[in-house]
Amino acid sequence: MSPELLTQIHRGRPSPLGATVVDGGCNFAVFSPKATQIEICLFDVDDREALRIKLPARSGGIWYGFIPGVGYGQKYGIRASGAFEPHQGLFFNPNKLLIDPYAQSISKKAVPSNLFYAHDRDNREDMTPCLKDSAPQMTKSVVTDQSFDWQGTQSPKLKWNNTVIYEAHVKGFTMNFPHIPDELRGTYLGMAHPAVISYIKQLGMTTIQLMPVFSFMTEPRLRDLSLSNYWGYNPINFFSPDPRYALKDPVSELKTLVREYHKAGLEVVLDVVYNHTAEGSIVGQTLSYRGLDPGFYRYHPDDRTHYVDDSGCGNSVNVYKAHVLRMVMDSMRHWVTHYHIDGFRFDLAVSLAREEWDFSRSSTFFKVISQDPVLHDIKLIAEPWDMGRNGYQLGQFPEEWYEINDKFRDSVRAFWLTDSADLADFATRIMGSRELFRKGVQEISASLNMITCHDGFTLEDLVSYQQKHNQLNQERNRDGHNANYSANHGEEGVTANPDILELRSRQKRNLLATLLLSQGSVHFLAGDEICRTQKGNNNAYCQDNELNYLDWQIGISQRKHLEFVRQLIKIRSSSQLFGDLVFNPEQLKHGPAHSDEVHWFNLLGKPMEIANWHDKNLKAGMLLISKKIQDPQTELVSVDECFLIMVNAHSSERECVIPASPMGGWKVILDTGEDDGMTPPDFCLSEDIITLKAKTLLLLSHPEWSVNPD
């Protein structure tokens, strides 16, 4: 920068925060209320520090200034001066280059370094500032141009009852995917390739949920073990896409991904981590927030020597503070406005809704989202717990939020895979867990049902392992869930026993049929449709290798399973009776939901009674779903759309009396006891008593009903 331009530096504006190109230069604004000086450091193309410029103006806690000649693509960082008093939460150290909290792009993948600690780690008795410059190792913030050709695409804005969410990891999904160029494997553009989109579309999914793509960093502990944070739940910035998934430009390439999915009528939801950052505990690395604002994290009352750790990751972002809440809202609007994102899945969402200390259903976080014109109608998904006090809050989020329902997961697994089955609880879960989700005027269940997700066993491992096998994580198999409600069906892990393999396949079909025929909405883990295994590892967060990369070289049994999943999703999407039933409080009072659309029967074909529901040995029953009728015996013959779901979780077959039939009898459209889960077309039942095989689910339909064509 020429001396003439240096003389043109002036006060600029305190808003917006971050770097904004305007009027032949760039305005920088940084929130740091306790700093005594903020410097913007500009870097050349070789990553050498070319210039330091003190921001000349301050308004409240915001430092700002206009630097002429700075344009898009300029790499920069922040140096903050002030008190260094770790016992007060103050870590100001101008030797440490900081990422701009509002940076919209970073220059390279962030990797941990011992240079990033603001304190001298060799002085363990008394924390003193480290005088070594971290700039050579630190990724740089980048002044970013957000212009992009969206080619007229619009968000599909799908209704929740039509939504089937497909959770996928950008790298793991694409590393081995056929028909895409080698250079695109593991990237945003690989995920946007027509072959990938066509596969997801043909599978029947409506919404892709990407595991974290915010810029993140591996924990130093994992680096020391020669492992890495593969999942990405360790952010360093809330505005920039991670460059490790990009060929050249992560900003335009992630936007390309969203644009191409929208062209195909698919939604894109981001899994976001606002509850903690990669800076870790009070003695962790100083990367950005800690070096600028001691109030960014929660502290113990009257003790600034330790962070509150509701995340289990060393710190908790203090969304109770107005300026931190503002940053989270600015970040959400950024992704919706600039990237056209359709919604968010919030990791440990309870942390975001804590007021001064405790979770509140009427928290400021919820209120500002509900009134925001950009955010109020996007998809909002809560992981309804955190690690803090009273951290489990399933069913307590506002009515526009859907919540990940771990009770559905555990109840359905237990019903099919263990001896602790409870038919009443199972029935409650598949009817949308209405006793949990009583959300005022909400008419349909806000339950996001799942059997598996990234955290835990895959579907294949769920039916193949009795115990977790996490030894590769180097934590002595102490990490990961212990209560998995899984079963190996006779042998642990891989087996050649045909009887065990057949039973495992049947159980996978039972679990997925229950999921796809349930009320509420559906979450599906990518790879479960092709029987992906993690070899019994139920916490593979640190395995950036073939253990996590989907293997698309599938055999005959996997292809049958894949086709079964496709047909299941077609069945669900072909009728509004799945996932869209409405109940009033009276219909939920005496056990699992029942109404003129829902009738429960025991194996004798009689309506379920209280004694039946309390029979802990009963693991079989029937569910009739239809248009409104009061007496199935007399009225079902006049209905043109109806389904009978028959379940038998016993280890032996059971005889069932058909309670009633539509005109022309029942048509069998799904039988998990069959090798491929399906039945010949137009196969109708004529008898009144049928035998349900052990561990099977049957779905019968009106004889004239059929799935929607592709």
**Of 119, 334, 305, the residue nearest 240 (C-alpha):** 334
* Distances, alpha carbon 678 to alpha carbons 209, 672, 675, in Å: 29, 7, 8
Partners of residue 600 on adjacent β-strands: 623
Question: DSSP secondary-structure letter at 708?
Answer: P
Inter-residue contact 427 to 521 (CB < 8 Å): no
Tokens 């903690």 sit on residue: 276
**Of 389, 44, 108, the residue nearest 249 (C-alpha):** 108
Type of residue numbered 549: Y
Inter-residue contact 286 to 91 (CB < 8 Å): yes
Cα 29 from Cα 434, distance rounded (Å)? 48
The most distant pair of C-alpha atoms in the chain lies apart, rounded to whole Å, by 94
Give the chain's count of helices (H) and strands (E): 15, 28
Return the H-helix or E-strand segment holding 40.
strand 37-43
Give me the helices (H) in 134-249, please: 170-174, 188-191, 194-203, 220-224
Strand 90-91 vs strand 84-85: parallel, antiparallel, or unpaired?
A: antiparallel
Partners of residue 78 on adjacent β-strands: 40, 98
Which of the residues are catalytic?
Answer: 347, 383
Q: 3-class SS at 100? A: coil
Q: At what angle do helices 556-573 and 498-516 cross, to 10 degrees?
A: 20
Query: For 629, how many CA atoms within 13 A lie in the half-sphere containing its CB?
Result: 21
Cα 63 from Cα 54, distance rounded (Å)? 9
* Distances, alpha carbon 632 to alpha carbons 430, 441, 641, 659, in Å: 21, 29, 13, 8
Residues 6+ apart with CB under 8 A from 132: 95, 115
Output the DSSP codes for 515-554. HHTSSSEEEEETTGGGT---TT-S--TT--STTTS-----
- Tokens at 114, concatenated: 């011992």
Inter-residue contact 636 to 629 (CB < 8 Å): yes
- Tokens at 691, concatenated: 């035998």
Residues 6+ apart with CB under 8 A from 539: 455, 456, 468, 470, 473, 479, 480, 481
